[in-house]
Structure formats: C-alpha cells, structure tokens
Amino acid sequence: MLGTLLNLLRPSYALTALILFGGWQGYTFVKSIPQKVTLPFGTFQIQSGQKSQTVESNQPAKPEQVQTEQLSSNPTIAAIQKISPGMRIISWAVVYILLCFVSVPGIKMMLARESNLVNAILIIIYSGLGLLLAFVFAAFQFSKLTDVMLIAAVIFSVLFIVWLAGELEKMRIQDTFSAG
C-alpha cells in the first residue's frame, strides 16, 4: 500500500502539495489577522452577534445578543485562536504527513545505516516536529484541552513515523532480496 502511495505521491509531489497547502493556509491565516488591538493588558474583546446595531445606536447590548471572547493581544495568536479546533487538527495532520512524505529520501538514508541509535534519533526528531507543529496550531497556549491534544499529537507522530519507517524498511529489504 505504501509503495503505491509513494509512487503516486513522490517526495517532489509531496513538497509541491506541502507548498501549495501551506501557501493556501498561510494566505487565509494572514488575511484573518486582526488589524487593531483596542484594549490594553494583553487581551481584547471580539464581539459577535449584533455589534453593528450596538455601535450605531450607542445603547448597551443585551447579553444574549453579544458574545464576548477573550483573545490574545498578539495578532498572530489571536488569528490562530479564531480558527476552529477541527480545522487546526486537520491542518496539523496534513502538514505533518506531507512533511514526512517530503523527507522520505532522508528517512530511507537513515534506515540504511541499520542502527538503533539512528532509528531512535529519527523517531525523536519527527515526534518533536509533530509536537512543535501541534504547539503552533494550539496558538502557543496551554489548557487542559490543549494538553490532551498535544499528547495526542505526540502519540500520533510517534505511531505515524514508526509505521512509515517500518514500511520503508520492508520495501528496502524486499528490494535487497529481489536484487540479490
């Protein structure tokens, strides 16, 4: 199965897909960064609902009409926080998987050394990369939910890189025996 997937999604194709996906996500992300920060002390309020009526009539809005969210004063972090959690998880998975497929030649080269230390370093590097990406998609915030999501990201990262390295090793061994 992986051989077919690697034939369809060669590392150069995966790099192209990663660049296109990253460009598309980057464009929508930059477009969503707020231009103004209105309140001091590290947070500002975004009001959704009937804000335009409240501003025009200068009357205080009813609590059921306006929903207030606390966002970071950093515009980049605020833009990440506005993205739905489901979309952040999907984006993280796509970016991580494409990064793994882009680096398949490097992974093959590391597996060819046939060293447990090199394999452990490979797993640590890719798990750390998955954790770092998850931390970015968690908007550099810690809460109980993001802690669970970061732990799940590390577990998925480890499982995926072990599976990918195992499949690449099987392919390398099959190529060795079929050539000899």
Of residues 29, 129, 117, the one with CA closest to residue 79: 29
- Note the pLDDT tens digit of each residue in 79-106: 777 878 888 888 889 889 888 888 888 9
**How much is the pLDDT for 74?**
72
pLDDT confidence of residue 51: 45
Whether the per-residue pLDDT at 53 is higher than 50: the answer is no
Bridge-partner residues for 13, per DSSP? none
Virtual torsion, Cα 16, 1, 154, 10, nearest 10 deg? -20
User: Which band of pLDDT confidence, cut at 50, 70 and 90, is reported for residue 40?
Assistant: very low
Q: What is the mean pLDDT of residues 102-131?
A: 92
Per-residue pLDDT tens over the stretch 128-164: 999 999 998 888 777 888 888 899 999 999 999 999 9
Checking if the pLDDT of 33 tops 60, the result is: yes
pTM to 2 decimal places: 0.67
Cα 119 from Cα 117, distance rounded (Å): 5
